[in-house]
Every structure is written in structure tokens, then in C-alpha cells.
Structure 1
């Protein structure tokens, strides 16, 4: 079987030129900014650098602003939390299987972590069970994680129930983690919100939503979560389609409101072509939120 990681890397390097990959590296590194870092070197100040990192004595000697650069002094642990219930076996907005987009997103994030020397683990499952593969280093391990996501997601599998995986993380996983949740287009229910709020106090949490296919495209459509169907005669009706679009907008706003209230960065991907941009936007949102939180708490401004 062809390597899934090789497929992911090929897409990254075809789409993302050297500058973009550097930007991705920078945004990923900023997730851990301020924790377990050690001084590395001085460099010229550029807009967006943190004011607190300016070395004022060196700046006075040099005549222009210089900032301190830091490097991580220990390895971090990244946990990919992926829904592998049957909801993720359905089509995404791009027409691709959602699990293929989940594999690509997990691969990009895992590859960035590997480039930074961090360990990557996987927590996935459905309503039936949760499965945990502890964080480890190396591309062989990352390939195993991607294959696990790909092979465990099928249309005849158990229903999705991401709250079960979040509950597993809360009960059994210790130590600070960067948790990246990859799931389909759902509005977190009350239980899920409660679990996320508790996990948020222990870990860094990011959320990537894989967009659902449009069920009102004018053709017979099936909702894989419950098997319900939308006949073509109904899907093609102008009033039905308008009502569907209104309901979709309301769901979208409800989901955004939940993540805004939880202070969790969320981004969306409609297809594999969106994955690199979506990961970059997600990491950038997380960095921006972290900076805003520090200012709100009376810390420093970024």
C-alpha cells in the first residue's frame, strides 16, 4: 500500500513553496511560545514580534531594535484527536471522503511536529470505543497513525460520538498536550462543551472542522449519521433549498459561537486542496488568541 505520509508530503511540497513551509513552521512553533524556551540568538525586530522579547541593551548598542529568539528545551507532545465514526466516511464539500481530508490534515500537523522534534500521538474512535496510540517520534510512527485513521473509518462502522474520545482524554491522559481535534461539521452539544471546558484548563486545544457535503444539491442524498434520505424532488425545490441554506448558516453561527465562548481556535477545510491553508489559519488563530488572552490578563501586548 502506498505511503499515506508520502502522499501528504507530496501535496505539501507541490502546493506549499519554501516560504509557505517556513511560515507554517513559524506558526506551529508559536503554539508553544513562552513555555520551556531557552535563549538562542538575537535578530532584527520585525512587525508582529513581541515587545517583551526586545533586548533593550543590545538595541541601544546596535542602533535599531533587536529581539531575542528562543528555542524549546524539551520535546512537546501533540495529540491528534480524530473522529473515526461513520460520519467521517461520508463525502466532504469537495466530494472527497471526509476521512481522506482528515488524514491529510493529521499528516500536515504531524509532519510539522516531527520537523520540530515533537512527539505525536492519536486518540480516535466512535460511539462504540476509543483507541489511544501514545505520542512517539519518527515518520514511521506517524505513518502508522495515518493508516489507523484511514482503516478505522468506514460507512458500515459505528456512529460518531466525539464526546466519548474527549471523555477518554479527560479521564486517562496526563501531562500537558497540544490537542488538535479533527471532526466533521457538528455543533458541540452540552456534554461536549463541558468536556472541552475542562480539557481547556489543562491543555492547548485547536479544532479543525471538515465541511459536510451539501445535502440539497438537486440529487438524492443520504445522511450517513442516521440513514435519512433527501429525495431529488425535494432537494431540487427552491423553497427547500433556501430553508436548508438558512439552517446551515444558523448551524455555522452556533458552532462559531461555541468555540468563541470556549476560547478555542477553530478553522474549516472543505477539501484536501484547503488543508495547508486551513492548518496555517488555525495555528495563526491560536497564536492570536493566546496573545489576546495574555493582554486581557494584564500581561504583555503582542
Structure 2
């Protein structure tokens, strides 16, 4: 396994069973299931799945667990622009967290034999990697994304990538967006409406380290503009409090926007959160199916 997939696996683990099941669109729409293993019965399980012979031998009620044979075409859509050079609340570079998220989704598709591709870029345009299967293909995608994000990238504009996908990908598929937290405006609303009309969309947002008020009151700078940000001590307690209220309002508006557009989404502060957040995100996707 390549460097990027190996790193992603250290945060995500190897158990991908049950993830990305469901959704509106799949390559194979059969209802057939493949037996996987047995587990203890819990209230709410379908009694038709009880394995009576195995239950009698063990002395406990066991049910059969199945793996869906439905496969997806998956498209990763990623921001590789300047905003991904910023730091997360854990101190990691946002592009490092993003490549681990992308790698984790790749690991899920490996276990399901899904086809996976990627569109990434910045405001200057998009790079399109066609959908294929396999570990080598996924590692190559991660390598190309990481190289672009680590170079002198242009300003971030995830709407540019969303518009490209809406224009060039006409067949229904599962789209997983990995970006920073976008500004809610008319451009974003139009792009999301175009995508959700045809595709299933999941969105993982890598969060920024707060600009001020973290206790370490050193001055910083905005990676998007290169301008310096004054430290909390210089700004004063009232300005810092106003900033925090504005941030809470921004996060709430973004969550309301995603919910209104029926886009399952999550915010990820660092690589250590990837497993828990993606399990939650894919669970919402499965229930929506």
C-alpha cells in the first residue's frame, strides 16, 4: 500500500463494512446480499435474519449479517486551492487532513470494488481523473492532489469544481466533496442545486484554526490574501467576543444551508476525527437510501 493510503489507514482503520451502502444510485440495483458473519441479536433486528442453528449451538440468539452487492460510481471533489494551506484547530495543515479524508473514502471503495475518480483544483480550473478501481489508482489520485495542494496553488473556489462536475458528469453517482467551509451565497446555492438534482452528495469540511482568541495571541496571517491578522491582545476582548459570535452565526448558516439542500455533511478539525466523522456521515447516507 502506498504512502498516502497507509497514512489514511492509520487514522481510519481497516474495518469498512457497511459503509456507503444505500443511496439513490448504484451500478447494480439488485437486492441480493452476500453473507458476511454472525453477530448477537439486538432489539429492532429483522427476525428473519436469525440463524436458529447457530443460536442453538451457542446458546445466544445470533443473526446473519450481510454485505450489499450494490456498487457505486464515486467521484471525489476536492479543494486544492490556497485555503487548504491554512492550519486546522489541531495544528495540522488542512491539505494533510484533506488527503487523509480522501484516502479514507478510497479505502471504503476498495472493500466494495467501487469505481472512484477525482476532480480537484482551485479558482484557475480543474484537474479531472477518470473513475477506475484499485489501490494503485487511488494512491495515484492522492499523490496528484497532494502535489497540487503543496505547490503554489491559486485561490480556493470550490464552486469552480462543483460547476465543472455539474457540467461534465451527467450520469448519477455518489459525489464526496472535501473542502474548507464555503461561504453561503447564490453561487454556492446554484451549484449545489444542480448537483443534488442528479447525484447523491456527501460533504466533509476541514475546519480552520480560529483567527484569534485561542490563548496563543501571536499575530497570524490569512493564507488567502497574505494579510496579517492582529492578535487577540491588540484587538481587545470585545472584538474577540464579536468575532466568536460571528463565527457561530457563520457555522449555523452553513449547517442550515446543507440541511435545507439535503446534503449530509460533517466538520472535521483534524485527522484523529476522520473515522468517527465518516462513520457518522456514511450512516446518514445509508439511512437516506
* TM-score in terms of structure 1 length: 0.81
Change (3 A) 1:10 1:32: farther
Which residue of 32, 52, 69 corresponds with 1:72? 69
After TM superposition, the structure 1 = structure 2 runs for residues 52-71 of structure 1, keeping only pairs within 5 Å, are 71=68
Residue 296 (structure 1) aligns with: none
Unpaired runs of 5+ in structure 1?
292-302
- Matched residue count: 273
Displacement of 1:250 = 0.4
After TM superposition, the structure 1 = structure 2 runs for residues 76-225 of structure 1, keeping only pairs within 5 Å, are 76-154=72-150, 156-216=152-212, 217=214, 218-225=217-224
Q: What is the rounded CA distance, in whole Å, between the counterparts of 1:215 and 1:119 in structure 2?
A: 39
Encode CA deviations 1:175-202: one digit per residue, 9 max, x unaligned: 2211000011223321111111121111
SS of the residue corresponding to residue 133 of structure 1 reads: strand
Residue 276 (structure 1) aligns with: 275
- Comparing both chains, which one has the higher relative contact order based on Cα–Cα distances under 8 Å and sequence gaps of 6 or more? 2
After TM superposition, the structure 1 = structure 2 runs for residues 235-250 of structure 1, keeping only pairs within 5 Å, are 237-250=236-249
Q: What is the rounded CA distance, in whole Å, between the counterparts of 1:39 and 1:195 in structure 2?
A: 35
Displacement of 1:257 = 0.7
After TM superposition, the structure 1 = structure 2 runs for residues 32-51 of structure 1, keeping only pairs within 5 Å, are 36-40=29-33, 46-47=42-43
Displacement of 1:244 = 1.1
Residue 26 (structure 1) aligns with: 18
Would you say the 8 A contact 1:105–1:275 is kept in 2?
A: yes
Displacement of 1:87 = 0.5
Unpaired runs of 5+ in structure 2?
53-60
Across the aligned residues of Structure 1 and Structure 2, the Cα RMSD in angstroms comes to: 2.9
Would you say the 8 A contact 2:25–2:172 is kept in 1?
A: no
SS of the residue corresponding to residue 248 of structure 1 reads: helix
Q: What is the rounded CA distance, in whole Å, between the counterparts of 1:229 and 1:25 in structure 2?
A: 46
- Is the helix fraction higher in 1 or 2? 1
Stretch moving more, 178-187 or 251-260: 178-187
Would you say the 8 A contact 1:55–1:68 is kept in 2?
A: no
* TM-score in terms of structure 2 length: 0.84
Change (3 A) 1:166 1:47: farther
Stretch moving more, 25-34 or 188-197: 25-34
